[in-house]
Amino acid sequence: MRVFLFIILLFSLTDLYSQISRGGKPMWPDSKKSKSVYQIPHEAVSRAIQQEFTDEDLIYGKKPFRVGVDYNLNISPETEGEWITLPDGLRLWRMEFYSEGALGLNLYFDTFKLNEEAVIFLYTPDGKNVLGGFNYLTNKKNGILPTAFLPGDRLVLELQVKAGYDYGVLNIGSISHAYVDIFGASQKDGYFGKSGDCEIDINCPTGYDWQVIKNAVCRIVFKKNGSFTELCTGSLINNTLQDESPYVYGANHCISRALEAGNAVFYFGLESEDCNGTDPFPSGAWNFTISSSELLATSDSLDFSLLKLSEKVPDSYYPYYAGWTIADTPPDNATTIHHPQGDVKKISRDYDNALIDYQEVNPPSWLSSGSIPSAFWRIEKWEEGATEGGSSGAPLFNSQKLIVGNLTGGDAYCGYPYNDYFSKFHLDWDYYSNPANQLKYWLDPVKSGVLSLEGMDPSDTKNIYEYLVQNPDYDKIIEYSEKAGYSEIFNNDGLYTFFVMADSSIEKLPDWYRNLLETGPDFFAREFIENFIVSGKYLYSDLSNIASLNSINGHLLNFSLNGFSLFINDSLILINDEISLSNGVLIPMDVILVSEENNYNNWEIYPNPNNGEFFVYSEESNLEDLTIRLYDRMGKMVGEQFFNDTQTTSFNFPHLPSGVYIAEIRLDNMVRHQKIVIVK
């Protein structure tokens, strides 16, 4: 016989910067100095840097921005580093990396597959800069994980594994040594202020009409050819399903291979808060990143690529999916939003029509050789701003704020804002018939034949009910909500926080429990829904700072932080990502069943379900000093009885209403839990 305990896990999102954190903090004792330090050979790095400056000539005229060199590794917790075990049984593995003269370091895991009871952090030795935690929810389909840069020449990797569990499979394939000042001594984003004086912050008056569209643009950091690290720009783009598929449109000369797409890190929301404002790094904007993507389509002669991010862009990033047009009309009042030199988001404007032809005098060699010259719009002169290295892949918008191309390169820079080239979106669309070389197959999956598509702001379009109905992952919750009479409520203008389970989580519940939800009395489904709804709107960052909340049916939700886990009463809830909607927020959670062998001589509570009177049976001949406690589904004790009997005893809590409860049986040092159902 097996006893099932419902354990609902929650990791709070911390204010640490970089790709989506699953919460927690490093646990290495402060007094424990690193005994295992891997030093990157300085001579090898110096040679690679010199070679990079020579290689820059190969991409002259195009506008990626190189920032670092990569050094190959082959390190796992099985081969390097040090292990210790803390008094509570938590096992820790630690490895420190040092590269002389580095202005920043990042790691690339060529194998990353964590089990559920393991979490990883990267941090600087002083503990001021932390990346993570990353857990099994961070696992990617491609099995790899690139990480963002941390400042300085030293980086510590820490793996935490709960007692009695295996961590999974990990291997570090390479480390990147940044020779560009990515982070200064003040812990600013070293790219801030790197661009030319003519560049215009997106939040200056020139950008006031672009405050929604700007949220489509992202900075991309990726490893090129396995030897160096580059920066480019890309943009989220809408599709005719309008389903928030995380497609990113950019340049082929930036990302042209699956390996580059897989190791890329995408940064959203990198902008100064005000015109000519301050560095966004201290404000936490570095939280808005996603690692890894899939290359869907690309063309070197047209110079475009379409990527699909490894996970949905969180609503907390305020994403915007830019619209587009396949009209072949030259864009008027052309605008681009970009990250020149990796700097914060800038805007450049041309108030004349773009040109169809390229330069007839001294055409750029990269355009006349290997590319299709007629496939590029030419911006003859920027009236405001310019472009620079790091701007490559930036979207070009027409006066209707629709994408008509992306930046390939050109001559423009501050002081000479002339002759930039953007691929023509209408040729990227279907110039080539193969889906791997066109946009049409991916951006018009319903074969609508539309010539243009408006952009989409998810936060403006859906309420809770609409989101759940349109998302096939939540079919069961919709079924239970309708049974409980909550579909109409979720359609109203109220404000709610709903801790919601996807179908994949509900499938983990025992068959008998799901049967009651689906075929049992309506109150059962209603209780299931109401226990996880709170009036008002609460985000990740709120939860770890709130002592308690009341659900709408009066259950008290007590929050407490323990290590890298956040508890609600006696339950542990795992939050994947908040979804902000017009009438509240959804916080997805995952239910994990833990099966325990019954080591208590075949104890049994029966009959179950029942009207409230139950029996406890055990092969134990003496149940003297037996204690039974009953808890509701939120972990609140609702009854307690003591017994002095042999083998069989009965208990009854007549005051309790119909519902699901957890019975806790205590005898000597033994504790047994069992789910019971009261139906009256």
- CATH at residue 660: 2.60.40.3080
Instruction: Pick the most confident of 43-57, 317-331, 461-475.
Output: 317-331
Does residue 23 form part of some domain?
no
**How many C-beta atoms surround the C-beta of residue 427 within 10 A?**
22
Which pTM does this prediction carry? 0.63
d(CA 378, CA 253): 18
pLDDT digits (tens, 9 = 90+) for 258-299: 999 999 999 998 888 778 876 555 444 455 889 999 999 999
Cis peptide before 133 (omega within 30 of 0): yes
Mean pLDDT is lowest, of 60-64, 118-122, 457-461, 635-639, for 60-64
Whether the predicted pLDDT of 185 surpasses 50: no
The pLDDT of residue 605? 76
| Amino acid 615: pLDDT | 77
Burial of 475 from C-beta contacts in 10 A (0-12 / 13-18 / 19+): middle
> Which range (36-45, 377-386, 425-434, 615-624) has the least confidence?
615-624
**Rounded to the nearest 10 degrees, how much is the dihedral formed by the CA atoms of 151, 142, 246, 423?**
80
- In-domain check, residue 2: no
Mean pLDDT lowest for which of 203-207, 358-362, 487-491, 505-509? 358-362
What pLDDT shows up at residue 264?
93
Any idea what the CATH number is for the domain that residue 208 is in?
A: 2.40.10.120
Q: What is the spatial distance between Cα 237 and Cα 232, in angstroms, rounded to a whole number?
A: 16
* Residue 227 located in a structural domain: yes
Q: What is the rounded CA–CA span in Å between residue 191 and residue 183?
A: 8
pLDDT tier, 485 (very low <50, low <70, confident <90, very high otherwise): confident
Q: What is the CATH number of the domain that holds 535?
A: 2.30.180.10
**Ranges 69-73, 231-235, 483-487, most confident:** 231-235
| pLDDT value of residue 368 | 64
Mean pLDDT to the nearest integer, 34-50: 78
Is residue 250 a part of any domain in this protein?
yes
- Number of compact structural domains in the chain: 4
User: What's the per-residue H, E or C state across 334-401?
Assistant: EEEEECHHHCCCEEEEECCCCECCCCCCCCCHHHHCCCCHHHEEEEEECCECCCCCCCCCCEEECCCC
Res. 633 pLDDT band, cuts 50 70 90: low
What would the pLDDT profile of 552-580 be if each residue is shown by its tens digit?
877 777 776 655 455 666 555 555 456 77
Which of 453, 475, 510 is the endpoint of a domain? 453
Specify the higher pLDDT residue, 268 or 606: 268
Instruction: State which of 77-81, 183-187, 429-433, 651-655 shows the largest mean pLDDT.
Output: 429-433
Q: Cβ(27)–Cβ(160) under 8 Å?
A: yes
Q: Tell me what pLDDT residue 110 has.
A: 94
Would you place residue 663 in the very low, low, confident or very high pLDDT band (cuts 50, 70, 90)? Answer: confident
| Nearest-5° Cα angle at 563, 283 to 127 | 45
Flag whether pLDDT at 213 surpasses 90.
Answer: yes
Q: Note whether 531 and 655 are same-domain residues.
A: no
In b/e form, how buried is each residue of 281-295, taking b as 16+ CB within 10 angstroms?
beeebbbbbbbbbbb
Band (pLDDT 50/70/90 cuts) for residue 188 is very low
Q: Name the band, by pLDDT with cuts 50, 70 and 90, for residue 51.
A: low
Please tell me the predicted confidence (pLDDT) of residue 646. 58
208 closest CA partner among 200, 198, 216: 200
Q: Give the model's pLDDT for residue 13.
A: 25
Nearest to 198 by CA among 417, 420, 422: 417
Place of tokens 């890329």: 264
Answer for the pair 505, 480: CB distance below 8 angstroms, yes or no.
Answer: no
Instruction: Assess whether 213 and 314 both reside in one domain.
Output: yes
* Residue whose pair of structure tokens reads 């859906």 in the numeric block: 462
Residue 395 reports pLDDT greater than 90: yes
d(CA 661, CA 633): 6
pLDDT at site 540:
63
263 and 376 belong to one structural domain:
yes
Q: Is the dihedral of CA 443, 446, 451, 452 positive or negative?
A: negative
Same domain, yes or no: 299 and 421: yes
φ/ψ bin of 117: left (φ > 0), alpha (ψ from -120 to 50), beta (otherwise): alpha
The mean per-residue pLDDT over the stretch 58-69 comes to: 72
Task: Say if CB 575 and CB 561 are below 8 A apart.
Answer: no
- The token duo for 53 is 């400056």
For range 205-226, the mean pLDDT: 90
Q: Do residues 87 and 217 both lie within one domain?
A: no
Tell me the residue range of the domain where 511 lies: 462-583
Residue 16 has pLDDT above 50, yes or no: no
Of 583, 613, 645, which residue constitutes the final position of a domain? 583
User: Average pLDDT for residues 3-19, to the nearest whole number?
Assistant: 30
